[in-house]
Chains A and B, each alone.
Chain A
Amino acid sequence: MTCDRLVRLAPLYLMLCAAGAAGIVQGAQDFKRKASILLKEEPKNPKCFAESKKDFVCFWEEDEERAGSVDQYSFTYAYQNEKNSTCPLEVLPSAGGKKLFVCHLNRVQMFVQLDVQVQREGVQIYNRSLLIELLFLLDPPKSVTVSTTGHQGQLNVSWVPPSLKYMDDSMIYEVLYAPADSDFGQVELIQACSEMILRGLEAGTMYQVQVRVNLDGITYDGYWSAWSDPVFTETLPAELDPLVVSLTVIVSFILVLLCLAMLLSHQRFLIKKLWPVIPTPDSKFQGLFTVYGGDFQEWLGQTSGSLWLTSPFILPEECPSPLEVLSEFNLCPPLSSPPLPPKASKALTRVRNEDGVMKKGLLGRESVDGVDSVQTNGWRTPLHDDWLLDRLREFQQHPVPTSQCSLLESQDAYISLTGNKQIEGEHMEDTLEETSPLGVLFASRKTTLSESHSDLGSVQQSSGCGNLSSQSSFEYPNHAWITRDPGYTYMAVADSGVSMDYSPMSRADDIGKVVIYANDYKNDVPPHRRPFLVRQYPVDDDD
């Protein structure tokens, strides 16, 4: 039974032993660490320190060669007004081939003078008078924690102070902080407080923080403890300070406004430099773009052509020479009583097309007289080629006195190519005719003739010569034609309603030598126009 018990308890014993051994080892290590601190700090011997309120340690160091055994030394101490006491010594090996002789005092009295003596073989080697409460060497603070606060460049350090009653408010702490990769750190001192906020740190940097403790020296005093184990923490990454951002925005806005103001003040200069004015020929062509909208041919027609005759810009075409309207001339022979066949039209037309103003004199009226072929054929038969020239020749040679041609004057016959019809005393108005762009009217000859005119026809033609547009007709005095300079070029036009016959332009003395060309109307029927209609209106003379 006992064996079983022993077997069960053996592991427990082993654990306890191990723990105890570990504790002892740890204690020894702590003591050695403290002893090393004191060996640097305290010049006097023996070196003594208090770890807590209840224990007190004194030690001294000796070289191994010179040191004797423990028995040779004696450590005696005496409080004020008390008797001497002896402290048992221990020997501990130290680094560098040295020995430490250590005395632990169990019963500690503070605020009273303590006299210590060390004797070796009866000879006093060390003597010291001290106050225990002034020789504290505490353990470093435990549980050092470092955390970030909510602000940039700050760290909050907190630790657990050594648990010594009545001494909490006498403790002072030093906090050592440095960037992890730097060798130089800063130290902050704080009293009687176990947490601290580090400010002015770099953002986004890893810092290491250590803390050590000491007593303030008023009531209690001691040595600085060892540094605590370093704690690494990273500060918050850099943020944009709202004040900086807003100031930057305001300053940039002001700069932009200044630039705009400068640009606007030098607007013309800059525009001139960046977008140079492309020279345009407007100044040389007065009215070309403003009045005629760029229509060069029209503009040419309205301005004097002499400027352009020699200009290289002129298209190498024959410039149209203005034509004067020739007065109508009476091709009619002296009137006679025979019935008149349908007469040839006589009209004045003025045709204007887009290219320019051309005046045509359309002559006309043909009296039916002695031209049987014409009479029989009426309007639908093309005239023979020489008919018109013969007429012209005849007229030129035998100018019809005005009285005889008074018929013309009175009759005032015109061809108007618009809906405007002017015909004396004749009402041929028809709404259809009015709306048509071309109404060719043939006036009847107002005579005492009793013939009935056969149809002269009013041919309504579509405006397809869409280029053809009519204007108000006008009247030329008959004699005006006669008095023209023989140098003029003449062209005879005869409009039969189906075709317009032009004689080529020829000089006055050349009439008769050239051939008449007949050009058919080219009628393009615009969709909105009326279809080609041929009507025949009986034309009655008005007496």
Chain B
Amino acid sequence: MANRRTYWPNHEEPVRGYADTAMEFPRLFALLLLVLEWTRPGLPSPLRPICDLRVLNHFIQEARDAEVAMKSCREGCSLTEAVSVPQTTVNFEDWEKKNAMAQAQEVQTGLWLLQQALGLLRTSMTDAELNGHIDTATRNLHSITAVLRTLNFPEYTPPASTAGLEGTWSASSAAELLQVHLNFLRGKVRLLLLDAQACQQDVS
């Protein structure tokens, strides 16, 4: 009885009857309830761990594309100043000796350093295509940080002064920066995600 269906042969404006106007308020009220339910502030649900490495593989391929593009850059693609970049060297024996916490800290520090360096490079970059690569790389670094958060790694923010940090190099060119960026993703970041405890529990 809520909706009265009337045949309108001439496609005229339907005449709103009493029933239609009477149902307006209940409709609005229902909609309001739904919205409030969705936006209800509550405890955040635990994030599902992202263990699929295909996401990282995608980031790595985009980083490789950026490095290749940067190699062909001649002008307007240089760093104004040297930036600190994480060391990408991986010795498997040494890496396995470190505990998970240390590994996570190392990776998170490196991600932070790279984000800083890419930010600097972005400001001095004039090439539009390269800027796009840099933006993609920056966005990917944020995503990786989010992925680490899902794997229950404690958030670690390195100290503000980056100088003198252990395990850092200095990069003076954009190409070198992007190469380091690529190697870092392929090496340490990947190893950390592979060995993540959260993913191991899911598998076993």
Contacts and interface: CB of A to CB of B under 8 A. Distances in A.
B89 A219 contact: no
A54 interface: yes
A8 interface: no
Contacts, number: 49
B89 to A, nearest CB: 4
Contact of A219 (B91, B169, B179, B190): B190
A399 to B, nearest CB: 127
Interface stretch (B4-12, B14-22, B53-61): B53-61
Contact of A111 (B93, B169, B186, B195): B186
B187 A111 contact: yes
B187 A54 contact: no
A356 to B, nearest CB: 105
Contacts of A255: none
A53 B92 contact: yes
B168 to A, nearest CB: 11
B138 interface: no
The interface size bin for chain A is: 10 to 19
Interface in A150-184: 165-166, 169
A403 to B, nearest CB: 127
Contacts of A169: 53
A111 B190 CA distance: 11
B165 interface: no
Given A166-B191, A219-B186, A111 B60 contact: no
A112 B183 contact: yes
A266 interface: no
Interface stretch (A68-76, A102-110, A195-203): A102-110
Interface in A91-115: 107-113
A165 B187 CA distance: 13
Interface string B167-204: 00100000000010001101110110011000000000
Contacts of B194: 166
A81 B176 CA distance: 12
A232 interface: no
B88 interface: yes
Contacts of A107: 91
B90 interface: yes
Interface in A378-419: none
Contact of A218 (B61, B88, B93): B61
A54 B93 contact: yes
Nearest to B187: A111
A54 B93 CA distance: 8
Nearest to B57: A218
A79 interface: yes
Interface in B43-92: 53, 57, 60-61, 87-92
25 contacts: A53-B92, A54-B93, A79-B89, A80-B169, A109-B89, A109-B90, A109-B91, A110-B89, A110-B91, A110-B187, A111-B89, A111-B187, A111-B188, A112-B87, A113-B179, A165-B92, A166-B92, A166-B191, A166-B194, A169-B53, A218-B57, A218-B61, A218-B186, A219-B57, A219-B186
Which 6 A-B residue pairs are closest in the complex by CB-CB distance?
A111-B187, A112-B89, A111-B183, A111-B88, A53-B92, A219-B186
Given A107-B91, A131-B183, A218-B61, 5 more contacts: A110-B90, A112-B88, A112-B183, A166-B92, A219-B57
